[in-house]
Structure 1
Amino acid sequence: RSDYSDDAEEHMPLITNLPPGIAPLKRRRKRTNLDNEQKAALDACFIENCRPDHTQMSEIAHKLNLDHDVVRVWFCNRRQKLRKE
């Protein structure tokens, strides 16, 4: 073991003393800022199909170089926006 790994362990918070049934908190993902081209492409896809399946969303995410969850949440939010209008 290197000295570096020992230092890392010293600064790691101990989560072993949490009460049973309480999981450690996950870190929130950083907000994704979409550029104009990505927004336009997502809008075009939404006009074509407002409820793409998992495979279609994965294809869209791959084409736009985005995470699948970002695309999924964008479509969900866009449907909510449409419902409010």
Structure 2
Amino acid sequence: MADKEKTRVAVGIYGQTYTIVGTETSNHVRHVASLVDERMREISKRNPYLDSTKIAVLTAVNSVHDYLKLEETVQQLEEEVKKLKG
């Protein structure tokens, strides 16, 4: 990654503007930001009494939960593939 050029992308998430610096394409960064914004707005609709910090934490918790479930699924599928090959 040290040889990849870094890009700066301004994105809007839940009414705030953030500048994201990284090596991914600007389209990728914008897509990620839009998914975070969408999830925060969904949580806010279901819990209108929560402040933005709590909405952000719940968004992070839900996102990590989803990631871990997907990681578990990938691991199970990899084990199935090994069994089929073996």
Normalising to structure 1: TM-score of the pair? 0.30
Normalising to structure 2: TM-score of the pair? 0.29
* Larger helix fraction of residues: 2
* Larger strand fraction of residues: 2
Larger Rg: 1
